[in-house]
Structure 1
Amino acid sequence: MDGKSTGPLASPPYSVAQTAPHQILVCKACKHKGEDCKPGFALLKKLRAAIASAGLGDEFEVSGTACLAGCVPAHGEPCVVGWRATGKATWLFGDIDPDQPLDELIEFARLYAAREDSWMSGKALPQHLCDATLARIPAAMIVTREGAIQ
């Protein structure tokens, strides 16, 4: 590179601006089919309504995002859902069926919001989510010459 600025870069297709303290991401693009994920869109719509009905609308933004790369096509058309927030662990769950009740996802949202760092053992999770956990990623602590930033 010659060090010259080429102007502002467009946001990548996977970037999602966060407008609430916590964010739930629902995969809506199928890497296996190269098209929109209809079950993901269905889950996104149902989960937004369920979060609002549970009184968690001020705490959580529910957004669709590009492929989260956690689905297994042999399982049919399961969905992948992620939780993230500044200073908290990120959780990724797979094999989420949009046609099943969302009670455990709402229960996890309450647990996630209540914990300072959202770190918990699998035993603390609702049963299906314990079995569907793809990743629990510690919150990033980035250190620069100027000091630590979150």
Structure 2
Amino acid sequence: MEHRITICTSCTHTGTQCRPGYELIERLRTAIADAGDAVTDAFEISGVACMAGCDRPCTVAYHGTRKATYLFGDIDPETDIGDLLAFARQYAELDDGWCSSVDRPGKLRSTTLARVPAAIVAIEQTEARAS
């Protein structure tokens, strides 16, 4: 797999014990499998205990080899699957993973918590300065 979607499994809705991450993982896996296009083969979906987005459950990260990483918060497994699938398609096509917030689908325009540049860029620039 060259792309990964990681979903927080410890996020809870305020005042409840509900952990929407597990439901989100299953719904997104199903949506990607049902998509029947390049996204099906390009992404692995997994859960992780915490991504420090506790105030904005549920958090979802997109990462890829030599690509910027995105962290989204306030994701609802019942209403946001379409936006997550659309972003997976978009992200798979981006050479460096970089896109503007206005180019992200639906709710993901306003729920981005972080965009982290690919680590390889920092390494390449450091090596260039050293020579």
TM-score, structure 2 length as denominator? 0.82
| Shift in Å, 1:86 | 1.0
CA distance in 2, matches of 1:63, 1:94: 16
1:61 maps to amino acid: E
CA distance in 1, matches of 2:114, 2:78: 23
Q: 1:32/1:53 Cα in 2 relative to 1: closer, same or farther (>3 Å)? A: closer
Is residue 89 of structure 1 aligned with residue 68 of structure 2?
Answer: yes
Question: Of 5, 8, 25, which residue of structure 2 is paired with 1:27?
Answer: 8
More strand by share: 1
CA distance in 2, matches of 1:88, 1:66: 23
- Report the 3-state secondary structure (helix = DSSP H, G, I; strand = E; otherwise coil) of the residue aligned with 1:43: helix
Q: Which residue of 2 aligns with 1:134?
A: 113
> Which structure has the larger Rg over C-alpha atoms?
1
| Shift in Å, 1:32 | 9.4
Q: Which residue of 1 aligns with 2:90?
A: 111
2:113 maps to amino acid: L
CA distance in 2, matches of 1:123, 1:88: 19
Unaligned runs of 5+ in 2: none
1:56-95 equivalences under 5 Å are 56-72=39-55, 78-95=57-74
Q: Which residue of 2 aligns with 1:6?
A: none
Q: Which residue of 1 aligns with 2:20?
A: 39
Report which structure shows greater RCO (CA 8 Å, sep ≥6).
Answer: 2
Q: Which residue of 1 aligns with 2:30?
A: 49
| Shift in Å, 1:127 | 2.5
Counterpart contact for 1:24–1:63, Cα < 8 Å: yes
Identity among equivalent pairs (%): 49
| Equivalenced residues, count | 121
Unaligned runs of 5+ in 1: 1-19
Q: 1:31/1:49 Cα in 2 relative to 1: closer, same or farther (>3 Å)? A: closer
CA distance in 2, matches of 1:41, 1:22: 20
Is residue 121 of structure 1 aligned with residue 108 of structure 2?
Answer: no
1:43 maps to amino acid: L
| Cα shift readout 1:9-42 (whole Å, capped 9, x = no counterpart) | xxxxxxxxxxx11000010124899xx8621100
Counterpart contact for 1:21–1:60, Cα < 8 Å: yes
Q: 1:107/1:30 Cα in 2 relative to 1: closer, same or farther (>3 Å)? A: closer
Counterpart contact for 2:12–2:20, Cα < 8 Å: no
